[in-house]
Amino acid sequence: MEDKNQILEFILESPFETILEQIDEIHPVDFLEALGEFDDDPLIILEKLPDEYVALLLDYAEDDEKFNLLSLFSKNRQAQIISEMSSDELVDLLGTLDEDEQNEIITNMNTEEVEEVKTLLSYDPESAGGIMATEFISIKETDTVNETINYLRTMAPDSETPYYIYVVDDLDVLKGVVPLRQIIVSTPDTLIKDIMIENIISAPVDMDQEEVSHIFEKYGFMAIPVVDHNGEILGIITVDDVMEIMKEEYTEDMFRLAGLDEEEKVAGTVIGAIKSRLPWLLVNLVTATLAAKTVSLFENTIAQIVALATFMPMVAGMGGNAGSQTLTLIIRGIAIGEISYENQAGILKKEIAIGIINGLCLGLVVGVLGYFWVGSLAFGFVIGTAMLLNLIVATISGYLVPILLKKVGIDPALASAVFVTTVTDVLGFFFFLGLATVMLQYLI
């Protein structure tokens, strides 16, 4: 059921028993879209839903909508809905709230839930511990397949995912993993230790979430366990959480490359947009001043050969474009783990080669253009050589700037574009006007 009017009509007119039987056929995303077009009090619709489904809605809702939806219900109902939420979803919700709003929700939780959530909130929100869920299934290696199946019938409904069954010792140290399929196809009296996989890929609790996403990308897992420094399993991270992380990380990088705050929305306020954009525009203004200062050093040369002013933006602009190409490639490589210490030198050599070849091609084209435009072979040589040098510098800076920023702990996506543009503008003008000054007698 995807039609918004049908969804609203079904919820409003059906008895609770019918809703309970058929609500799983309505995807939470479709329901939220339908709810957004409901003109009356949304509680008229929401109060007819089972607690488990409302918990799902909160998971799929935008961060700024989660608390507003939950707040519509009574304290009693809030407690019931919260009890249906997985630990990672609950932590995600609390992470979007201020202290007063967090306390308002925590008061509706039982002691065990509060302790669990406080532990999860103590981890860095962008670490494996900060994104893991504590609802997982663990068994002992001495259990049989039959015992495990009986245990699964009880525990699986409350687990984050039953695809993998984790094997632990008496201290909860992770010893192995058994795919659900292996349990199904094995005979009832088979011991778990005989079918478990001992070579386990896990995430340390303090691993950065980007590194966690790299593990999922590399191995294609549906879930991976999170362990502490003793090897004790603390929780699991599922693929749906990682997909959300990847979306957030790539969106953040894209916004930062443009000098925008990742929190800015298309439908946001004018004041919010100004706060997001103006600081970086001011930084760009400072860097543009450096380029202007470089040009001012050659005012006499420009005064004697006015055609230089015509071609100056071409040299700087092409350098900026070439730098941006390399920069985008390198930042993506850093983000998805393609760049390592071992392959850095090879990548740099490749980028320099690309800069030289592109510079020769574009330098030749612009040199011929300059010759016919001004009627001077010397002018064509100056503009062509400046183009070659600036494209080489552009590719080198597009590689080195994000790498160096990463090493000093600065997000490459946040600051790289400003530095690369500054380098290509300043040096582009310097190469062009400097060469023109040196060859002034041949240009006049």
Q: What is the pLDDT of residues 18-30, one digit of tens each?
A: 888 888 889 888 9
The answer to whether the beta carbons of residues 390 and 397 sit under 8 Å apart is no
The answer to whether the beta carbons of residues 437 and 415 sit under 8 Å apart is no
- The residue that leads in pLDDT, 409 or 325, is 325
Helices 239-257 and 412-438 sit at what angle, rounded to 10 degrees?
30
Query: DSSP alpha helices (H): ranges in 178-269?
Result: 180-185, 192-195, 209-219, 239-257
61 alpha carbon, distance to own chain's centre: 18
Q: What's the CA gap between 242 and 132, in Å, rounded?
A: 10
Last residue of a domain, one of 62, 89, 124: 124
Q: Are 152 and 282 within one domain?
A: no
Residue 69 lies in a domain: yes
H/E run at residue 227: strand 223-227
Residue 335 pLDDT exceeds 60: yes
Q: Are 105 and 172 within one domain?
A: no
Q: Across the strands, what pairs with 165?
A: 178
Q: What is the pLDDT of residues 252-266, one digit of tens each?
A: 666 666 555 555 555
Q: Are 203 and 146 within one domain?
A: yes
Q: Which residues contact 110 (CB under 8 A, 6 or more apart)?
A: 83
196 — pLDDT class (breaks 50, 70, 90): very high
Counted domains in the chain: 3
Q: What's the CA gap between 227 and 172, in Å, rounded?
A: 10
Angle at CA of residue 373, ends 368 and 374, nearest 5°: 105
Nearest to 45 by CA among 37, 35, 55, 36: 35
Which CATH number fits the domain that encloses residue 104? Answer: 1.25.60.10
Residue 434 lies in a domain: yes
Residue 431 lies in a domain: yes
Residue 279 lies in a domain: yes
Which CATH number fits the domain that encloses residue 204? Answer: 3.10.580.10
Query: What pLDDT sits at residue 388?
Result: 95
Q: Are 280 and 421 within one domain?
A: yes
Residue 185 pLDDT exceeds 70: yes
Which CATH number fits the domain that encloses residue 368? Answer: 1.10.357.20
The answer to whether the beta carbons of residues 242 and 94 sit under 8 Å apart is no
Q: Are 285 and 419 within one domain?
A: yes
Q: What's the CA gap between 366 and 379, in Å, rounded?
A: 10
Angle at CA of residue 259, ends 255 and 263, nearest 5°: 50
Residue length of the chain: 444
Structural domain containing residue 174: 138-246
Q: What's the CA gap between 102 and 404, in Å, rounded?
A: 39
Task: Fill in the DSSP letter of residue 199.
Answer: S
Comparing 15-29, 142-156, 406-420, the range with the smallest average pLDDT is 406-420
The percentage of the chain sitting over the pLDDT mark of 90, rounded to a whole number, equals 32
Amino acid at 157: P
Residue 265 lies in a domain: no
Q: What's the CA gap between 295 and 399, in Å, rounded?
A: 26
Residue 350 lies in a domain: yes
Query: What pLDDT sits at residue 179?
Result: 87
Q: Are 437 and 296 within one domain?
A: yes
What are the distances in angstroms from CA 427 to CA 286, 324, 354?
16, 15, 19
Q: What is the pLDDT of residues 95-131, one digit of tens each?
A: 778 788 888 888 878 787 788 888 888 898 889 998 8
Query: What pLDDT sits at residue 107?
Result: 81
Residue 260 lies in a domain: no
Q: Are 280 and 424 within one domain?
A: yes
Query: Residue 413 corresponds to which tokens in the numbers above?
Result: 């996506």
Nearest to 426 by CA among 320, 322, 355, 348: 320
Amino acid at 200: I
Q: Which residues contact 46 (CB under 8 A, 6 or more apart)?
A: 35, 54, 69, 72, 73
Q: Are 396 and 360 within one domain?
A: yes
Q: Are 388 and 305 within one domain?
A: yes
Last residue of a domain, one of 186, 214, 246: 246
Q: Are 277 and 425 within one domain?
A: yes
Q: Are 154 and 280 within one domain?
A: no
Query: What pLDDT sits at residue 162?
Result: 61
- The residue that leads in pLDDT, 425 or 418, is 425
Residue 133 lies in a domain: no
Last residue of a domain, one of 214, 231, 246: 246
Q: Are 209 and 303 within one domain?
A: no
